[in-house]
Amino acid sequence: MLKTLGIIDGLLTTDRERRNASRSLGGKTVLEWVTRQMTDSLQLDGVVVMTDHSEENMFVKMMTPLDVPVFMTNANDTLAALSKTLESFPAEHCVYIGLDWPLIDSHLIDRLIIAAESNPNGWYAAFQFENDARRGRPLGMFAEWYHVRALHRANRKAVDPMHREYPGTYFLEQVKKEALTLIPAPSPFCEHDLCPTFESEDDWENIAMIFESIDADNIQWHHIAELLLSLLQKAKSKAKVPG
């Protein structure tokens, strides 16, 4: 049994999500970038990409690096899919991340795991943002950590559709505080409400500009934050200029 397994969410449900996951950046797709940054983590003992059998998501298996397994499930929601994946790839703990941001800093993954393992009673760990709307779900470069036994238990007990789609919300609302390890997100992301995700063509253009300004072989979150803040300030200045 592995100690900590990384799980990448390839259960894509919309055309936008599929288009974004397959976008190319520096010769690699977003899916490849996330996968490679996860495999670079020193604290993960393995990585798997989780997806379904739908024809629309077949590209996930085709684009995943050959040395990383793809688990295909018929589960009806995220919580069930995670539980099924962990039945096939047993582990004590897992780290769960999505495909809504390609430039992952593997050091943040390691920081999350180390903090989570320092709590002997921990069931769930995540980076905490001041914006409560972001709680209970992986966000861009910020993953979630779960104790696998607790995750299987949540799969048996959770009935609220929100809890089943975003398992982190179940833990935040249903378990004791001592079972939660909430790490303050790096200050630039909280102070300036920076959101490292992409939902529009403008967001993708920003990602492309950031990519051109960093060392892609050594992605560091503080460089990403500086560049995001610069882009945010430019956008605000532009908005103040009379049309």
Is it the case that residue 170 has pLDDT exceeding 70? yes
Report the pLDDT value the prediction gives residue 176, as an integer from 0 to 100: 93
According to the model, what pLDDT value does residue 151 have?
A: 97
* Residue keyed to tokens 């378990």: 175
- What was the pLDDT predicted at 236? 62
Query: Within a domain: residue 119?
Result: yes
What is the Cβ-side half-sphere exposure of residue 231, based on CA atoms within 13 angstroms? 21
Q: Is residue 177 part of a domain?
A: yes
pTM of the entire predicted model: 0.91
Domain holding 37, by residue range, is: 2-187
Q: Where are the beta strands (DSSP E) in 10-129?
A: 24-25, 28-29, 46-52, 70-73, 91-97, 124-128
pLDDT digit string, tens, across residues 54-88: 999 999 999 999 999 999 999 999 999 999 999 99
Q: Residue 174: which of 155, 192, 190, 193 has the closest Cα?
A: 155
Give CA–CA dist 85/230, Å, rounded: 40
**Residue holding tokens 């040395």?**
67
Per the structure block, which two tokens stand in for 89? 């790839």
**Helix, strand counts (H, E) of the chain:** 11, 9
* 150 is a domain residue: yes
How many CB atoms lie under 10 A from the CB of residue 193? 12
Lowest mean pLDDT among 116-120, 141-145, 185-189: 185-189
**What is the 3-state composition of the chain as percent helix, strand, coil, each rounded to the nearest 5?**
50, 20, 35
**49 lies in some domain:** yes
**217 domain-assigned:** no
Query: Of the ranges 33-37, 60-64, 220-224, which one carries the lowest mean pLDDT score?
Result: 220-224
Q: What is the pLDDT of residues 82-107, one digit of tens each?
A: 999 999 999 999 999 999 888 889 99
175-208 pLDDT tens trace:
999 999 999 888 777 766 676 677 778 788 888 8
Q: Is there a contact between 166 and 136 (Cβ–Cβ < 8 Å)?
A: yes
Task: Evaluate whether 145 touches 43 at the Cβ level (below 8 Å).
Answer: no
Of all helices (H) and strands (E), which one includes residue 197?
Answer: none
Residue 227 is assigned to a structural domain of this protein: no
Query: Residue 58: which CATH number?
Result: 3.90.550.10
How far apart are the C-alpha atoms of 138 and 152, rounded to whole Å? 18
Number of domains observed in the structure of the chain: 1
In a domain, 206, yes or no: no
Query: Per the domain annotation, does 18 fall within a domain?
Result: yes
Q: If you average pLDDT over every residue of the chain, what do you get?
A: 89
Assign 125 a pLDDT band (cuts: 50, 70, 90): very high
